[in-house]
Amino acid sequence: MGWEPKIVVIACNWCTYAAADLAGSLRYSYPPTAHIIRVPCSGRVEPEFIVKALINGADAVLIGGCHPGDCHYRSGNYKALRRFKLLKRVLEELGIEEERIRLEWISGSEAKKFAEVITELDAKIRELGPNPIKRGV
C-alpha cells in the first residue's frame, strides 16, 4: 500500500466528538485517515500536542471544539483559538503549510460538517503530499 495521509484530530467531547459519533450513526462516509483523541474541551489542547503530532509525522492536525458561546466549560474554545492562532504563525515560520493545521467549530449536530471537513482535509493533504518533516526536510 502506498502512502496514505494520517490525520490526528483532537476533539472536545461535547461537540466535535459527538458530531463524529453522529456522522457514524447517519452512515456518512469519509476517509478513514482521521483519528480522534478525545479531550473534555478544546481548551485542553496544548500547543505541544500539535507540534508533537507534526514532528512524529502526522500529515495534518485538526482541533475540533464547540461553536463560540457554546463551550460546555464556558470559554475553553476561545482560549483554544487564541493559542491556535499563535502556534499557527510559528509553524508557518518553520515551513509547515498552513493547511496542515486546522481549527473547526463543529457542534454535536453537525455530523455532515464533520464528514465534510475530514473529506476536504484528506483531499488537501493528498494534494500537498506527506508532512515535510517526514519527508526529511
Partner 1 sequence: MAKIGVYVCHCGENVKGAVNIQEVLDFAKTLPEVVIAKDYQFMCSDPGQNLIKEDIKEGLIDRVVVAACTPRTHEPIFRKALEEAGLNKYFYEMANIRDQDSWAHWHDKLGATEKAKRLIASAVAKVKLAEPLEDRYQEAEKSVMVIGGGIAGIFAALDLAEMGLKVYLVEKQPSIGGNMAKLDKTFPTMDCSACILTPKMVEVGVHPNIELITYAEVEDVKGYVGNFEVTIRKKARYVDWEKCTGCGHCMTICPSKAPNEFNLGLNDRTAIYIEFPQAVPKKAVIDTDNCLYFKTLRKTGKVACKICEKGIPSKNIAGCPAEAIKFEDKDEFLTVKVGAVILATGFKVMEKHHFKEYSPNSPDVLTALEFERLISATGPTEGELRRPSDGKKPKSVAFISCVGSRDERFHTYCSKVCCMYMFKHAKILKEKYPDIDLYLFFIDVRTAGKDFEEFYVSTKQLGAKVIRGGRVSAVDIKPNGKLRIRAFDNDLCSPVEVDVDLVVLATAIEPGIDTEKLGRFFGASCGREGFLREVHTKLYPVDTASRGVFICGCVQGPKDIPESVSQAKAAAASAAATVMPGKIKFEAISAEVIRNKCSSCGVCVNLCPYNAIVLEEYQGIYKAKVEPALCGGCGTCASACPSKAIIFHGFTTEQILAQIEALTTY
Residues at the site binding ligand FES, with contacts judged by CB under 6 A? 12, 14-15, 41-43, 65-66, 71-73, 76-77
Residue 66 touches which of ligand FES, partner 1, none (Cβ within 5-8 Å per kind) = ligand FES
Nearest by Cα to 130 from 96, 102, 103? 96
Cβ atoms of 60 and 7 within 8 Å: the answer is yes
What does each C-alpha distance from 79 to 7, 22, 125 come to in angstroms?
A: 23, 26, 27
Question: 17 or 30, CB closer to ligand FES?
Answer: 17
Question: 17 or 105, CB closer to partner 1?
Answer: 17
Rounded (to 5) percent helix, strand, coil in the chain? 45, 15, 40
Query: Site residues (CB under 8 A) for partner 1?
Result: 6, 8, 10, 13, 17-18, 20-25, 27-33, 35-41, 43-46, 48-49, 52-53, 56-58, 71-76, 79, 83, 115
